[in-house]
Amino acid sequence: MKKGIKVVTIGGGSSYTPELIEGFIKRYHEMPIRELWLVDVEAGKEKLEIVGSLAKRMIEEAKVDIDLHWTLNRKKALKDANFVTTQFRVGGLDARILDERIPAKYNMLGQETNGAGGVFKALRTVPVIYDIIEDINTLCPEAWLINFTNPAGIVSEAVFRYTDFERFIGVCNVPINLTNHFARVLKTDVKKIIPYFGGLNHLSYVFHIYQKSKDYLPDIMHHLKQEQISMNNIDPMAWDIDFIEQLGVYPSPYHKYYYYYKEMYQKFMTQYNHGETRAEHVKELEQTLFKKYQDTNLKTKPKELEERGGAYYSDVACSVISSIYNDKREYHVVNTVNNGFITDLPYGCAIEITSRITKDGPVPVYIGRLPNEIKGLVQNVKSFEEILVDAIFEKNLKKAKFALQINPFTNSINDASQAFDELVEAHKPYLDYYLKEQS
């Protein structure tokens, strides 16, 4: 790769972008970006200009030589790119509000990566990812695509299952939040520990936590009795310690949606009834953030951005890019293809797993068989993901409805069917990919 790289960020008008810019600036000495392009769509033009102006001020303040551009022309931006990052939301936060509020009417939990909300975010997102990959193959065929767009696991499954595109890596900030927590508990540098994550996006578990060849997972499990971790976008409800001891592996905060479904659903419905769903909270937070972004005196990432739910995202995305560019062979938890690393999941499917990141991409650790304590749930969710991805590729909304009906969050296939039909109506402007096939 020649000296200096070109990075293109699709969804550049996102409130997350300052986090990404900060990451690029911090790593400029090892990852010299000569060009950075922020791309968005017409509906995001105002936000793109606000974020672009802030990014420019951040770059000038840091005195790094990055040539910044922002544009609505994706093809123009992608020409000769080395890395492409994706962090977009089709339909914006208004679409997410529908994803959360409509399922609630049918006694279903709405959430942007799980259940009905995840299904419809995937239905809107995957066709756009396919278009982006087609453009990359034409305009920058050697580029790596680093995806942060949710639902990251289903997006990854769609790419690995139905494209020949091999330079794709999905990232998520849940594992890095957990890893930072482990380092604090062990009172060590985060770079000195290697947690072995394995499973699916938002459903991966920690099997080992190595430091100098010793596994410190038992110490972490013991410490769970004194201090637990949550995230800004997940309820801080405490884990049942006896349950975790029997589980034998360390779960992430997202597992509460599965193991405490009733409690999470009740809290969700309380928020719904008060007009305070997570999506509505995020929309208010974004309005506050963009007011801050417009302040011409602001030249750094505002601390309030951490409340958005994407804290440390840039550390993952930027570190992965740097590890590829410099062949650093660092360990990161990524969404990549399962070539026998988890033997209880299908060969070739998308998994979330600790991997060494090389110039040729991720080299996952070996997990092997999943413990019986978690295997059934993980396989259940993977089956749902595969059927949904098949439905997307086939443009088959009937099959997509079936995928929702067998989702672990579904308690009634009738409720799921009604919720699905109403969500189709609500999201019609973003479902032409499928609806044209039915007309």
333, 355 in Cβ contact below 8 A? yes
pLDDT, position 312: 76
Active site residue 254: yes
Q: What's the Cα-to-Cα distance from 382 to each of 233, 338, 350, 385, 406, rounded to whole Å? A: 23, 12, 9, 5, 11
- In degrees and rounded to multiples of 5, residue 344 shows phi and psi of -90, 5
**What's the confidence (pLDDT) of residue 239?**
87
pLDDT tens figures, 356-402: 999 999 999 999 999 999 999 999 999 999 999 999 999 999 999 99
Torsion angle (degrees, nearest 10) of CA 152, 348, 178, 18? -40
Question: How far lies 237's CA from each of 223, 258, 376, 437, in Å?
Answer: 16, 13, 24, 44
Rounded to an integer, the average pLDDT of 157-177 is: 96
Mean pLDDT of 34-63: 97
Cross-strand pairs, 206: 197, 250
CA 281 to chain centre: 19
pLDDT above 60: residue 333: yes
Q: How confident is the model at residue 4 (pLDDT cuts 50, 70, 90)?
A: confident
Confidence label for 12 from pLDDT (cuts 50, 70 and 90) = very high
CA distance 292 to 308: 14
Catalytic residue among 16, 130, 216, 254: 254
| 3 state DSSP class of 112 | coil
Q: How confident is the model at residue 351 (pLDDT cuts 50, 70, 90)?
A: very high
pLDDT band at 232 (very low <50, low <70, confident <90, very high): low
Q: Give pLDDT, residue 169.
A: 98
Backbone phi, psi, residue 135, to 5° = -65, -40
Identify each DSSP E strand in 244-398 by its residue range. 330-337, 350-358, 361-364
Mean pLDDT of 14-23: 93
Confidence of residue 165 (pLDDT cuts 50, 70, 90): very high
Q: What is the mean pLDDT of residues 279-299?
A: 93
Average pLDDT over residues 280-306: 90
pLDDT at 430 over 80: yes
Give the mean pLDDT of 56-74.
97
Mean pLDDT of the chain: 93
